[in-house]
Chain A
Amino acid sequence: MMRERIQLFLLASCAWISIAITLAIAVALLQETVSFFREVSAAQFLLDTEWTPLFWEKHYGIWPLVCGTVITTVISLVVAIPVGTTIALFLAEWSPRSLRQIIKPILEILSGIPTIVFGYFSVTIATPLLRIIFPSLPGFNALSAGVVMGIMMVPLMATLVEDALSVVPQSFREASYALGASRLTTMLRVTLPAAAGGVVAACILALSRALGETMIVTIAAGQQPRFSLNPLQAVETLTAFIAQVVMGDTPYGSIEHRAVFVVGCLLFLGTFTLNVGSMWIRERFSSTR
């Protein structure tokens, strides 16, 4: 009895510690955010189209960073969602066991590569390759960073979708085959829809991952905030701005430094909402099944 109680206590305190840390981060972010908005008006933050806190003439319009994040994120999802889902379908529904045993470890290796390597890969290999199609592509650009980020997320996507497919009861597939459906038809019209909740949750998790990804965009996207959605340019994302300031020599407590917390706050809100949304969707779909 006593031992059980101690175990329970230890487990509960671990849970509480992680909650406490999350709260502490949220409070710190909020505090700095509040002091930032004492100096910069919300109107400028939301209406200005330039983001130049590190320049002589400072502008604090958030949209250029949001644009950079949106472009790279969308590109990465355009790569990761179809490729990851296709691989998952292939693994779960199609491939013989022998092939599966080759593909799975490859995915695991891919997911173990540090993001800095992906960033480097983006600059030295992906960009030159993409120049074959877009000759005017600058050395640092949103397209290449987004594509490589997408490649990085393929294993995540594939694993999550495969999990979702594997819990679809075999009896659904059998019912479909017994009506004369082919393997492809069964996969597309029965198995995938039955796993829809898991697939959507996987997409949201990938989205949240893309929003938070830092290293690849810091290295490869160019660190140039731009109020534009053209992927063939250098851009700066929310995360890359944070990295830039934190690694630079901006004095602590300065307004530029506070800007980091504001951006962090925004990211925190974004990914938090998405993760909760993903959980909610998964729950909803699993209860209707």
Chain B
Amino acid sequence: MGQALKKEGVHEIVSVADLNLWYGSHQALRSISLSAMTGEVLALIGPSGCGKSSFLRTLNRMNDLIPIVRVEGRVIVMGQDIYHDGVELAELRRRVGLVFQRSNPFPKSIYDNIAYGPRIHGERRRSELDGIVEQSLRRADLWEEVKDRLSASALGLSGGQQQRLCIARALAVRPTILLMDEPASALDPRSTAKIEELIGMLRGEYTIVIVTHNMQQAARVSDRTAFFCDGSLIETGVTSELFTNPRNAQTQDYITGRFG
């Protein structure tokens, strides 16, 4: 699994240095420095409330929507300091997709859900949109299940299908990086397996940063894992090594289930 990292020419597509984040006066992230390599799957694990989601949401500036948030530090995504003035938010979020913990399809048809992203970015040609919709649904492994009812409401899909629809919707704007915040935590085991399989299929093509509560999941899907605790980054390493041979005592306690 770690092999991708050792290849020549792999570089840091996301590079965070000395990141601090506050909600009002509450500091949720402390001096985080962490990178993601092009094409890898990076898992973020840690106890509840340790700041995984906050970290994830800084990478496409979704935290901007919360008025009390203050961010300090350097976040370089694809060579650009994204907290620099003059960053095109729309373009950043197009290239850094986000899949939420609870699937949140729009109350529109399956087709319109997928076509929403391309449309707001200016794509109007029907044939082009048809192509994007099919391709995105195929990538999210949903095409066969929904191809005959593209104009039906997305809300009629099962929970697992809805989450795959949301992944397809994120893929439809052709992102380079995909952020996933516990994408399977609200799903049954079969749908979860399906999502994990999907991540396996997307690996390499996209850089994926995934938050998960489930350590087996992290072990199964990721190349590298970062362990957060109390707003700090405790340890990061190649997944297989971090799980079999953690360097830090706190990490050891967490992965062996002694706390968290």
Contacts of A176 on B, CB cut-off 8 Å? 106, 116, 120
B186: interface (CB < 8 Å):
no
B173 touches A179 (CB 8 A): yes
- A 172-189 to B, binary, CB cutoff 8 A, 1 in contact else 0: 101111111110010001
B100 touches A179 (CB 8 A): no
Contacts of A190 on B, CB cut-off 8 Å? 106, 116
| Chain B: CB-nearest residue to A285 | B107
| Chain B: CB-nearest residue to A96 | B67
A7 to B172, CA, bound (A): 58
* Chain B residues bordering chain A, tally (CB within 8 A): 28
| Chain B: CB-nearest residue to A175 | B104
Contacts A185-B120, A288-B153 known; A177 to B62 CB distance under 8 Å? yes
Chain A proximity of B103: nearest CB distance (Å): 9
A136: interface (CB < 8 Å):
no
Contact of B155 among A171, A179, A180, A289 (CB under 8 A): A289
A169: interface (CB < 8 Å):
yes
Contact of B117 among A172, A179, A288 (CB under 8 A): A179
A185 to B98, CA, bound (A): 18
A180 touches B106 (CB 8 A): no
Contacts A180-B90, A180-B93, A182-B90 known; A175 to B120 CB distance under 8 Å? no
A169 touches B120 (CB 8 A): no
For chain A residues 193-236, which have a beta carbon within 8 Å of chain B? Answer: 193-194
| Chain A: CB-nearest residue to B104 | A171
A176 to B119, CA, bound (A): 12
Chain A proximity of B238: nearest CB distance (Å): 29
A189 to B107, CA, bound (A): 11
Contacts A180-B90, A185-B120, A189-B120 known; A174 to B107 CB distance under 8 Å? no
Contacts of A180 on B, CB cut-off 8 Å? 89-94, 117, 120-121, 173
A289 touches B117 (CB 8 A): no
B102 touches A171 (CB 8 A): yes
| Chain B: CB-nearest residue to A181 | B120
Contacts of B62 on A, CB cut-off 8 Å? 174, 177-178
- B 161-174 to A, binary, CB cutoff 8 A, 1 in contact else 0: 00000100110010
A178 touches B93 (CB 8 A): yes
| Chain B: CB-nearest residue to A172 | B106
Q: What does DSSP make chain A's interface, helix, strand, loop or mixed?
A: helix
A177 to B105, CA, bound (A): 13
Contacts A189-B116, A189-B120 known; A177 to B106 CB distance under 8 Å? no
Chain A proximity of B101: nearest CB distance (Å): 10
A289 to B105, CA, bound (A): 11
A175 touches B107 (CB 8 A): no
A176 to B169, CA, bound (A): 10
For chain A residues 60-90, which have a beta carbon within 8 Å of chain B? Answer: none
Contacts of A177 on B, CB cut-off 8 Å? 62, 65, 93
Contacts of B166 on A, CB cut-off 8 Å? 175
Chain B proximity of A287: nearest CB distance (Å): 11
For chain B residues 165-199, which have a beta carbon within 8 Å of chain A? Answer: 166, 169-170, 173
B173 touches A194 (CB 8 A): no
Chain A proximity of B11: nearest CB distance (Å): 24
A270 to B105, CA, bound (A): 38
B155 touches A193 (CB 8 A): no
Contacts A171-B100, A172-B107, A194-B106 known; A179 to B116 CB distance under 8 Å? yes
A189 to B116, CA, bound (A): 9
B51: interface (CB < 8 Å):
no
Contacts of A194 on B, CB cut-off 8 Å? 106-107
| Chain B: CB-nearest residue to A168 | B107
A289 to B106, CA, bound (A): 10
Contacts of A185 on B, CB cut-off 8 Å? 120
B60: interface (CB < 8 Å):
yes
Chain A proximity of B48: nearest CB distance (Å): 20
B108: interface (CB < 8 Å):
yes
Chain B proximity of A137: nearest CB distance (Å): 44
- B residues contacting A by CB (< 8 A) are 60, 62, 65, 89-94, 97-98, 100, 102, 104-108, 116-117, 120-121, 153, 155, 166, 169-170, 173
- A residues contacting B by CB (< 8 A) are 169, 171-172, 174-182, 185, 189-190, 193-194, 288-289
Interchain residue pairs with CB less than 8 A apart (6): A172-B106, A175-B106, A175-B166, A177-B93, A179-B117, A189-B116
Q: A177-B65, A181-B90, A193-B107 are in contact. List 12 more A-B contacts (CB 8 A).
A: A172-B107, A176-B106, A177-B93, A178-B62, A179-B117, A179-B120, A179-B173, A180-B93, A181-B120, A182-B90, A190-B106, A288-B107
Question: Which 4 residue pairs are nearest across A and B when measured between Cβ atoms?
Answer: A171-B104, A180-B93, A180-B90, A180-B94
